[in-house]
Amino acid sequence: MSETDGRTLGQRDAAHHLHPFTDNRELAAAGGATVIERGEGCYLWDDQGHRYLDALAGLWCVNVGYGRRELADVAAEQMQRLAYYNTFFNTTTGPTAELAETLAELMPGHLNTALFANSGSEVCDSAIRLARYYWQQKGKPQKRIVIGREEGYHGSTLAALSAGGIGAMHAQGGTGLPDFAHIEAPYRFLLGHDMPEAAFAAQAARALESKIEELGAENVALFICEPIQGAGGLIFPPEGYLAEVQNICQRHDVLFVLDEVISAFGRLGAWSAAELFGLSPDFMTLAKGLSSGYQPISALMVSDPIAEVLRDAEGGLAHGFTYSGHPVAAAVALENLAILKREKLVERVREEIGPYFCETLKRLETRPLVGEVRGLGLLGAVELIQDKAAHRLFDPPGVVAAVCRENLKARGIIVRAVRDTLLIAPPFVVTREQVDDIVDTLEAALEDIS
Ligand code: PLP
């Protein structure tokens, strides 16, 4: 344990560090945060020597698992050769150029151009800004409104959070940006559990068309959505919904932005959700799994017709970040993608461990407190419910899942809880035994609270 003046590192941290998405007062009262010291494969160790199976892959990003020597070596090598140079003003670096080309090859259809940034928030923000600029160049500057979804999550910068639909974020200084609108999430468990899936999909997609008509298509720049809403509680689209919202966007001349910050690079057993669901978005946002979290890097993939317009920007494109295409981050991302290919991890998620994970998790659906288990690839959600027969949810929401999450942590398994949904997304190297461990422990935690 690290101590200074009798205080633990966790206590010193709580005194000076404002933690994101954390009740900071409660954290300090509890003696500070858990200090994570080391990672290997799917496991983490804290400074007290406790071991955790990280069933959330960090924040759904450490897809190749912790402790990858090859990524550390690539970073060290690139840092020694060229630690930094910018990609502004007619310069680039080797890894940056190679990464842009690799992404163009990996991502489907006409997504052949990358704009680099550091985080998911920045690329979602950039999509909004550049879409508006695109419409400006097309002679339709009034097309500015962004339509997002309730419970959508696109990051914490002002435009990204305004496009998102997380109530707590809007409540804390987030509202007020003009030209943002939202439609309902296609959350069948809450909003359409008594409807056939096709009818619910049609109704949920129709909400987009109604919103566009209400606002006037001539005023709407884009619709942004995650293929599967992640931080909002792993809300899976009903079958046919994504294709239909894309059709609606095309019919109304509204750009379609697919936020693949979680879903791309194998999480669903495909290189992208666009490929899996047969979509061709105008913009696609990538982050997290691009480097497996080993370096902060993100990319906005831009479709050919839009890239053409952005290339023609008069006086040059007035957009970017100091670290856009950072050579160390790009080198690490390239090696991470090479690992995914070399070890056939995307295929592993699609054909072997993903199906095993979903099947095993599904077992929990027979438990009285479990209303639904949803899963695809290595993304799984366990929706808890107070009264299954009556479809009565917990009131107030969020207490039971939080207890369950803490119980799991005490048993050495890290998951996330959103309202009354437990979210699970282990690294792609998770073994069958580790999947069994996650599900058995979840079962024991549910037993404790029933
Ligand atoms: N978009 C999605 C779908 C996300 O899940 C996240 C983060 O969880 C973001 C955007 C924001 O990414 P970042 O936290 O890297 O800014």
What pLDDT, on the 0 to 100 scale, is given for residue 428? Answer: 98
Is the same domain home to 77 and 184?
yes
Do 270 and 199 belong together in one domain?
yes
When divided into structural domains, the chain yields a total of 2
Residue 6, in any domain of the structure: no
Domain edge (last residue) among 324, 342, 360: 342
Q: What is the pLDDT of residue 124?
A: 98
Is any ligand 1 atom within 6 A of the Cβ of residue 151?
Answer: no
Ligand 1 pocket member 120 (CB < 6 A): yes
Residue 155 Cα to ligand 1 middle (Å): 5
| Cβ of residue 186 lying under 6 Å from some atom of ligand 1 | no
Mark whether 334 and 404 lie in a shared domain.
no
- Note whether residue 110 is domain-resident: yes
For the chain, 450 residues long, give each residue's pLDDT as a single digit of tens: 455 688 999 999 999 999 999 999 999 999 999 999 999 999 999 999 999 999 999 999 999 999 999 999 999 999 999 999 999 999 999 999 999 999 999 999 999 999 999 999 999 999 999 999 999 999 999 999 999 999 999 999 999 999 999 999 999 986 668 999 999 999 999 999 999 999 999 999 999 999 999 999 999 999 999 999 999 999 999 999 999 999 999 999 999 999 999 999 999 999 999 999 999 999 999 999 999 999 999 999 999 999 999 999 999 999 999 999 999 999 999 999 999 999 999 999 999 999 999 999 999 999 999 999 999 999 999 999 999 999 999 999 999 999 999 999 999 999 999 999 999 999 999 999 999 999 999 999 999 887
- Is the CB of residue 184 less than 8 Å from the CB of residue 207? yes
Q: Which is the closest atom of ligand 1 to the Cα of 156? A: 16
Q: Are residues 45 and 116 in the same domain?
A: no
63 lines ligand 1 (CB under 6 A): no
pLDDT for the residue numbered 450:
79
pLDDT digit string (tens) for 308-361? 999 999 999 999 999 999 999 999 999 999 999 999 999 999 999 999 999 999
What residues contact 190, with CB distance under 8 A and at least 6 apart?
Answer: 393
Q: What's the per-residue H, E or C state across the chain? A: CCEECCEEHHHHHHHHCCCCCCCHHHHHHCCCCCCEEEEEECEEEECCCCEEEECCHHHHCCCCCECCHHHHHHHHHHHHHCCCCCCCCCCCCHHHHHHHHHHHHHCCCCEEEEEEECCHHHHHHHHHHHHHHHHHHCCCCCCCEEEEECCCCCCCCHHHHHHCCCHHHHHHHHCCCCCEEEECCCCHHHHCCCCCHHHHHHHHHHHHHHHHHHHCHHHEEEEEECCCECCCCCECCCCCHHHHHHHHHHHCCCEEEEECCCCCCCCCCCCCHHHHHCCCCCEEEECHHHCCCCCCCEEEEEEHHHHHHHHCCCCCCCCCCCCCCCHHHHHHHHHHHHHHHHCCHHHHHHHHHHHHHHHHHHHHHHCCCEEEEEEECCEEEEEECCECCCCECCCCCCHHHHHHHHHHHHCCEECEEECCEEEECCCCCCCHHHHHHHHHHHHHHHHHHC
- Give the pLDDT confidence score for residue 174 in this predicted structure: 67
Domain of residue 105: give its range: 71-342
Do 169 and 311 belong together in one domain?
A: yes
Q: Is 226 in the pocket of ligand 1 (CB under 6 A)?
A: yes
- For residues 353 and 253, membership in a common domain is answered with no
Residue of 153, 169, 323, 418 to mutate, ligand 1, most atoms within 8 A of C-beta: 153
Distance 5 CA to ligand 1 centre (A): 38
Q: Output the pTM of the full model.
A: 0.97
Boundary-marking domain end, from 293, 322, 342: 342
Per the domain annotation, does 103 fall within a domain?
yes
| pLDDT for position 449 | 85
The answer to whether residue 207 sits within a structural domain is: yes
Query: What CATH number is attached to the domain comprising 316?
Result: 3.40.640.10
Q: Is the CB of 127 under 6 A from ligand 1?
A: no
Residue 267 lies in a domain: yes
In this structure, are 442 and 405 located in the same domain?
A: yes
Residue 393 belongs to domain with CATH number: 3.90.1150.10
- Ligand 1 atom having least distance to the Cα of 296: 15
Within a domain: 112: yes
Q: Are residues 55 and 187 in the same domain?
A: no
pLDDT digits over 232-283, tens only? 999 999 999 999 999 999 999 999 999 999 999 999 999 999 999 999 999 9
Domain assignment of residue 94, yes or no: yes
Q: Are residues 91 and 111 in the same domain?
A: yes
With a 6 Å cutoff on the Cβ, whether 154 touches ligand 1 is yes
Which ligand 1 atom lies nearest to the CA of residue 226?
Answer: 3
How many angstroms separate the alpha carbon of residue 80 from the centre of ligand 1? Answer: 30
**ipTM topping 0.90:** yes
Based on the fold, state whether residues 51 and 189 are members of the same structural domain: no
Atom of ligand 1 nearest to the CA of 287: 15
pLDDT at 74: 98
Domain C-terminal end among 342, 372, 400: 342
Please tell me whether residues 243 and 321 are part of one structural domain. Answer: yes
Tell me, yes or no, whether 162 and 181 share the same domain: yes
- Answer yes or no: is the C-beta of 287 below 6 A from any ligand 1 atom: yes
Identify whether 306 is part of a domain.
yes
Ligand 1 mean position, distance from CA 261 (Å): 6
| CA angle (238 as vertex; 233, 242 as ends), nearest 5 | 95
